[in-house]
Structure 1
Amino acid sequence: MRRIRQPSVRRFGVAILAAALAGLGHVPPAMAQPIYPIPDPDGFYWAPPDVGNFQPGDVIRSRPVAAVGFPGATAWQLLYRSTNSAGDPIAAVTTVLLPVGGGLNRPLVSYQPFINSLGLQCAPSHSLFDGGMQEAPALNVLLARGWAVAVPDHFGPTSAYGAARLGGRLTLDGIRAVKRFPPADLADSPVGMAGYSSGAMATGFAAALAPEYAPELPIVGVAQGGVPVSIGELAREVGQQPNRLFGLGFAAGIGLEREYPGQLTMERFLNPAGWALRAQVANACTTEIIDAGAYKDFDDVFTGSVFDADAAAIGVMHENSLANYPGIPRAPIYEWHGTDDEVDPWLAREVMGRYCAAGTPVLLDMIPGADHVAAIYAGAPRAFSYLSDRFAGLPAPSNC
């Protein structure tokens, strides 16, 4: 087995997220007992009893909020209707930032942050303004271009970390909500989407789902970087030896339990230390999760063969992996990776090749010598320039 480096938090990012997924298995629905987060005490986030009477993307309620950290901007939060992976109606939140001058049908960018948390207090609608979101200051660059920015809570109302397809659907319904919200004045705005690492998982799924799920949205370009396209492959490659970021993989297992109750559970594998870790991180944000699971491995928290995943577990991993999802984006894509990225860039290249063969313009940018964290800084300015050109109506470049 090749040696796995022990990187910084941001370097490995989502690469470890799949480490615990191979420990998920199928049990009868009555035995599955996901551990859910403590409900948000703010009643704004609560779904009304009649949430099913709304259409996906409909605004249920709204409120203005102080745009802390975004000088001159106006901020709103929208509770909107979406749908979970079981097909049930849910309510989710997106935050929209308007630049000086308001909406005026300006370009709209839906930005999906890279978040790795299980507690609802860690969601973007909170972390945008309380200092918890590392990349939040960079959104001022987009606002300075005169663009509106929407930031969805793309893990949903149970903070289902790891459920990437859900994230894509929440992203698209969040865009719908912003465009249907009259005070934003963005009904006729062209749309771009952007995200890195776990945020790119939601972005990538939104792009792939859009042709069938939200064909009415005028998505002109997508910028996504460091995308983990196959959770299953990561599960096989990562997490079999002590790693500082083991807790993130464990947390992803908890998140998928929440989104697929009755289909997935870690219960039949957990030893007493595993039960304790599960309880410790169930409402935690990224740093707490990393600290709690630091340098653990499967043998520390599981009993039995954690790689004995059955068809249900494999099916869920495939459902949340772009490498297995057959949908083809129609919007042009800028995809960037470091050549030394711990999230396998060559798997992403294969997915982009499939998109190219189907006729989607793809600009694949492999940044020489960059690992997962270095690629963020190298690719983000190029990503924003790429979206600027799409908003300007320039032909999308492609190196298919």
Structure 2
Amino acid sequence: MRRTLTALTIAVGLMSMLFVSAPVASAGPDDPVPPPGTMYTSPVDLTGKNNGDVLDSRRFTSPLYPGADIWQLRYRSSDSRGDAIAAVTTVLAPADRAPGGPLLSYQPFVNALGLQCAPSESLFGADLTTGVQEREFLNLALVRGWTVAVPDHLGPKSAYGAAKLGGQITLDGVRAAQRVPELGLAASPVGMAGYSGGGMATAWAAALAPTYAPELNIVGAAAGGVPADLDNIARALGFQPHQAFGLAFAAALGLEREYPDRLPISAQLNDTGLALKEQVANACTPVILAAGAFKSALAVSTNTSLVDSPEAQRIIDENSLVKYAGVPTAPTLLWASDNDPLIPIAALRDTAGRYCANGATLQFDIVHAPQHIQAAFEGLPAALTFLDNRFRGVAPPTNCLR
């Protein structure tokens, strides 16, 4: 019963990847409440389904994405234990697309515990913390003739911080899009992109693909600001009250949702912690930030010991790119700032070194932005060029020292 503060310590580290502006298995008591009218509300039978199989779909248009056919797909994926789950992706397809044209899987940065904050909802609303930030990039991809799949990579539990889960949902979302005949994507080359939390899902998808989805023709992956190792982040941030502690607390609750039998955080919350949990359990970023501002792990827990939890460490290791042995086989671009105050570059640099030592085709770029979000904009033009070149068959760059 020593786990809570260690788990919250992990979550303090997790806030750095989130603060940039996360038959159907039975729902647990702490799982998010699906908003009416979303694809999460209806039961679906997963019996006999394989990862990427489409379970349900709906089609519509939106003035926010002019000229695009929009599909939302519900499909079979797997959670962190390998159990079947029903995930959702939104596919934006140019109306004049050519069959077999490029398919980009774009993983947004999502700061949420509520399913109404997931990309499948927020991309079509007025939420300035999520949807609007993504639209310019998505429309730029559509103008290039690319079809874009945008998965809800935090999954049906909005399991904030579960990195490996995000990679699996991303890959299965690509599979689902390619299995819809009307979209004409079965033979499409696949690219992947994302920054911060979305970069984490992208980088994990690239590393998992050789074993989890080897049939996919992934021609390139571009991931920036990647929280490659949560332990590294936690140690760098410390435990003083923080203006963004609400996001840290939300990340802890998201991890508990994904690992309810291994990370029982709620059992050791004090009255302050329980009240905060009640406020943020189905919330999006603004409420989470406001409710948790300048609180700390010590303020919300009944346990005042900082004794390490081996089980919490195992969960961290399971979601660490530094510890995961897999290496992308697709050409990969990683970028990060060496001045990032939220995500230290060391873990991503270590990951890049391991990839190079194992024969990866890797371009590792360092920008010098003083803020986490600025590094996204400094690296994005190179990421778009990288992906465009991969789709056009240009030989991939590498700065690995062989």
User: Above 0.5 in TM-score?
Assistant: yes
What's the CA shift for 1:221?
0.3
* Residue 318 of structure 2: aligned partner: 319
Greater alpha carbon shift after TM alignment, 130-139 vs 162-171: 130-139
* Residue 16 of structure 2: aligned partner: 15
* Residue 26 of structure 1: aligned partner: none
Which structure 2 residue ranges, 5 or more long, are not aligned? 1-12, 20-27
What's the CA shift for 1:335?
0.8
Report matched runs for 1:69-108 at 5 Å.
Answer: 69-108=64-103
Output the amino acid matched with 1:355: Y
Greater alpha carbon shift after TM alignment, 54-63 vs 266-275: 266-275
Greater alpha carbon shift after TM alignment, 101-110 vs 222-231: 101-110
Structure 2 CA distance for aligned equivalents of residues 58 and 112 of structure 1:
20
Structure 2 CA distance for aligned equivalents of residues 103 and 97 of structure 1:
14
* Residue 21 of structure 1: aligned partner: none
Structure 2 CA distance for aligned equivalents of residues 78 and 300 of structure 1:
41
What per-residue deviation string (whole Å, max 9, x for no partner) do you get for residues 58-113 of structure 1?
01111102234111111110010111112221111100011130352110000000
1:62 matches 2:32: no
What's the CA shift for 1:264?
0.4
Q: Which residue, 25, 29, 45 being the options, matches 2:40? A: 45
Output the amino acid matched with 1:345: I
1:223 matches 2:222: yes
What's the CA shift for 1:395?
1.2
What's the CA shift for 1:49?
4.7
CA contact (8 A) 2:14 2:248 kept: no
SS of corresponding position for 1:354: helix
CA contact (8 A) 2:51 2:172 kept: yes
Structure 2 CA distance for aligned equivalents of residues 190 and 67 of structure 1:
26
* Residue 111 of structure 2: aligned partner: 116
Output the amino acid matched with 2:375: A
* Residue 367 of structure 2: aligned partner: 367
TM-score by structure 1 length? 0.90
* Residue 272 of structure 2: aligned partner: 273
* Residue 174 of structure 1: aligned partner: 173
Structure 1 CA distance for aligned equivalents of residues 253 and 98 of structure 2:
39
* Residue 204 of structure 1: aligned partner: 203
Structure 2 CA distance for aligned equivalents of residues 229 and 306 of structure 1:
27
Report matched runs for 1:244-263 at 5 Å.
Answer: 244-263=243-262
CA contact (8 A) 1:106 1:146 kept: yes
1:131 matches 2:132: no
Report matched runs for 1:281-320 at 5 Å.
Answer: 281-305=280-304, 307-320=306-319
Structure 2 CA distance for aligned equivalents of residues 366 and 375 of structure 1:
9
SS of corresponding position for 2:252: helix
CA contact (8 A) 1:34 1:254 kept: no
For the aligned residue pairs, the C-alpha RMSD in angstroms reads 1.8
Structure 2 CA distance for aligned equivalents of residues 214 and 77 of structure 1:
21
SS of corresponding position for 1:315: helix
Percent identity between the two aligned chains: 51
Structure 2 CA distance for aligned equivalents of residues 380 and 122 of structure 1:
24
Task: Flag the 1:190–1:253 CA change in 2: closer, same or farther, 3 A.
Answer: same
* Residue 7 of structure 1: aligned partner: none
SS of corresponding position for 1:95: strand
Output the amino acid matched with 2:81: A
What's the CA shift for 1:44?
3.0
SS of corresponding position for 2:155: coil
CA contact (8 A) 1:103 1:186 kept: no
Output the amino acid matched with 1:302: S
Report matched runs for 1:189-200 at 5 Å.
Answer: 189-200=188-199
Structure 2 CA distance for aligned equivalents of residues 40 and 53 of structure 1:
27
1:354 matches 2:349: no
SS of corresponding position for 2:380: helix
Output the amino acid matched with 1:180: R
Which structure 1 residue ranges, 5 or more long, are not aligned? 1-11, 19-32
Structure 2 CA distance for aligned equivalents of residues 189 and 39 of structure 1:
33
